[in-house]
Structure 1
Amino acid sequence: MLKKLSVFKVIILNFFVLFIFSYVVNSFVIAFGFLHELISIAFILLLIIFQTYIVFNRGKLLAGLYFILALALLLFSIRVGGINGYFTIAADGISSYPTIIHGDHALVDPKPLELTPERFILFSRDDGRFYVKRVHGVPGDDIKICNHLVYVNGYHYSLANNWVGQLFNENERCASRQSAFTLKANEYFVLDDNLRGSIDSRHFGPVNSSRINGEVLYKFGSRYGANSIFLEVSFEQD
């Protein structure tokens, strides 16, 4: 059957396969991030076998050239995320320990519909480096910093308190530092889950939306064997 296929039909068939594969890979990345690399490798092997058979049986140079193009497009779709644009990053550091640890991989959605508190984002700073931190404040929120603790609209949220908000005590004396301001349009206040080891908006200020590269959906593939988990939590008020 393959001997009767023209090179043009082979090209159309493979582009169709690549399109379907990109969609399937993205679906697996969203649901089972740690599996997508294995699936990708398996598909590449099948593609190589298929294209090699065509080249040797038809003797067409164009089929061989298309194999190179198809493989390049496939690798691009895997790394950049195909039609949905998802991509993965590797964590470096312990500022969000134990939620994200050094060596974890995470999935990023470059075009989130909405950025709300409780979610991790990927952003860049003037030093050219990229950072992953959790959003605590969004445009219009009132921020108060007292004794290194951040209160958003009067509540402090932290992993140590299972994300249950602690109401600010108006009688508390801010011994170390006190500041209060309202986030402007396109400003986001970010913190790490590990507040003690964090360099965050308490130090460099709010992050402008123009610096945000996407929402970090979940982590997977930890070298320490941790399971894949979604990173969004739920801020609650006591």
Structure 2
Amino acid sequence: MKKQWLEWIKAFAIAAILAVVVRVFLLAPVVVEGPSMLNTLHSDDHLIVSKINYTLGNPERFDIVVFHATERKDYIKRIIGLPGDTVRYSNDQLYINGEAFEEPYLEELKKELPEGEELTRDFSMDQLPGSNEEVPEGELLVLGDNRNNSTDSRMLGTIPKEQVVGEAVFLYWPLNRIKFMN
């Protein structure tokens, strides 16, 4: 009987250690708060964030990331500008390094706008806090999808890569919205 108890204790200890390793180094659950990523993500959506993706590789344009905005608060936003990029919006059109980019994830929100209203007000890199001509090395320019209701790089400036917790990879709650993020 004693031997059986020891086996159970060992199994639980191994499971607990594995859970801690996965939570600390590989994956983290995140709950979305607020409307800044509508219509892609809704408040109270539950996500799995991969902490290892950017340890093994680099962030890519349009990835959805979680980052430390303050000591106590994490934000979730979309990467728009990578190091060396110049980013600007003009007439609701994204330009990166002078090239126009489509943003299909914004189409639903744009359809809901009143005639003549823009989702993203015009801005350029020199208007961001820090006034850089381009995204500095080691930093990212991030925006929420709900551009009229998002605290992002337009207010915060570019985000150091070290502040990135990880990439949103899977939405698991609510059940009717389960999907892999891409």
AA matched with 2:79: V
Compare the two structures and name the one with the higher helix fraction.
1
Match of 1:160 among 106, 113, 119: 106
Counterpart in 2 of 1:133? 77
State TM-score, norm by structure 1.
0.57
Deviations 1:127-183 (A, max 9, x none): 421111111111111122558875322335543347xxxxxxxxxxxx975543211
Counterpart in 2 of 1:200? 152
C-alpha displacement of 1:126: 2.9
AA matched with 2:135: L
Confirm or deny that 1:230 pairs with 2:174: no
Larger relative CO (CA 8 A, sep 6+): 1 or 2? 2
Asked if the contact 1:118/1:135 (under 8 Å) is kept, the reply is yes
SS at match of 2:177: coil
AA matched with 1:140: G
CA RMSD of aligned residues (A): 3.0
Match of 2:58 among 109, 114, 118: 114
C-alpha displacement of 1:205: 0.6
- Which stretches of structure 1, 4 residues or longer, exceed 4 Å deviation after superposition? 145-150, 175-179
Q: Which runs of 5 or more residues in structure 1 are unaligned?
A: 1-58, 163-174, 233-238
Compare the two structures and name the one with the higher strand fraction.
2
Q: Distance in 2 between matches of 1:206 and 1:97?
A: 21
Tell which structure's C-alpha radius of gyration is larger. 1
C-alpha displacement of 1:213: 1.2
AA matched with 1:182: E
Identity among equivalent pairs (%)? 23
Q: Which runs of 5 or more residues in structure 2 are unaligned?
A: 109-120, 127-132
Counterpart in 2 of 1:170? none
